[in-house]
Structure 1
Amino acid sequence: MDSRLSRVTLRVRGYHLDGYGHVNNARYLEFLEEGRWGYFDDRPDVARPFASGNPALVAVNLNINYRLAAVAGDDLEVHTRLAELGSRSARMHQEIRRVRDDKLVVDADLTFVLLDVKANRPLAIEGELHELLAPLVMED
């Protein structure tokens, strides 16, 4: 496995489902967020600058494509990678795949900015943080 890719596995539970018996679309937001947390858990050196809560990586755009319904008992794997790194923003690409057949359930792109929480203003992604993130980029 490419060390720039992070994988988190989870099982679909009954409380994830909607009235139609498949995962509610809003739950995929949580699954994707779990994947992003896992991504930074796997890279403590990258997460370290955010430990104090300032600065923070803040989502500014999220696009999700729902490809296939997942149901109770499905094991899903969330794949997360850094797809693009700019000076003001970055983009993560994520896929949720069903483990038993590797079918694509969801794919998503999340754009984030670096935010000075105290001043409530965006910061440039530069210096040490840029140096930590740049080798992790896996372009589309």
Structure 2
Amino acid sequence: MPSPFAPHLTEIKVRGYHLDLYGHVNNARYLEFLEEARWGLTETHGSIQAFSEAGLAFVIVNININYRRAALMGEVLVIETALKKLGSRSGVIHQRVMLKGSDTVIADADVTFVLFDTAKGTAISMDEAARELFATVPVWSAEA
């Protein structure tokens, strides 16, 4: 897997429709921001076609998110996304939402996923062939 640490980056500008009645990004919107960044990671470092050809789906089973600071109208957020862990039955992608141009953390999340065999209708173990699908995905550095 790639080294040194270089997460996939996604920029999102906070728009009015992202805000709640308190004038900051609604907590549920962060899940959409994180999903957008994971799609970007997959498009850049993976292949939805390869998953489809293998009869696999990438399924989110848990998201643990920490909200650190409110994001406000007009701010530009940078979402860092990388693989944190690849276990025998699941994996974890770590994502960090930063205020662009600063070291301010807006939110961070660990997103647990499984590979789902679409023909069998069940999650599968991460065998060598499944692990190969993640060979080019950036890995989260312990120092990050």
Please say whether Structure 1 and Structure 2 have the same fold, judged by a TM-score greater than 0.5: yes
Question: Structure 1 residue 83 and structure 2 residue 84: aligned?
Answer: yes
Q: In structure 2, how many angstroms separate the alpha carbons of the residues matched to 1:64 and 1:134?
A: 26
- The Cα shift of 1:125 comes to 1.5
Aligned runs of 1:88-99 on 2, under 5 Å?
Answer: 88-99=89-100
Change (3 A) 1:53 1:106: farther
Equivalent in 4, 12, 19 of residue 14 of structure 2: 12
Change (3 A) 1:13 1:139: same
Matched to 2:116, the amino acid is L
Change (3 A) 1:63 1:75: same
2:39 maps to which residue? Answer: 37
Change (3 A) 1:38 1:2: farther
Matched to 1:35, the amino acid is A
2:128 maps to which residue? Answer: 127
The count of aligned residue pairs is 139
Q: In structure 1, how many angstroms separate the alpha carbons of the residues matched to 2:4 and 2:37?
A: 16
Q: In structure 2, how many angstroms separate the alpha carbons of the residues matched to 1:4 and 1:90?
A: 19
Q: In structure 2, how many angstroms separate the alpha carbons of the residues matched to 1:132 and 1:53?
A: 10
Q: In structure 1, how many angstroms separate the alpha carbons of the residues matched to 2:54 and 2:74?
A: 36
- Output the aligned Cα RMSD: 2.1
% identical equivalent positions? 44
Change (3 A) 1:2 1:41: farther
Normalised to the residue count of structure 2, the TM-score between the two structures is 0.86
Secondary structure at the residue paired with 2:94?
strand
Question: Structure 1 residue 27 and structure 2 residue 29: aligned?
Answer: yes
Q: Which runs of 5+ in 2 are unaligned?
A: none
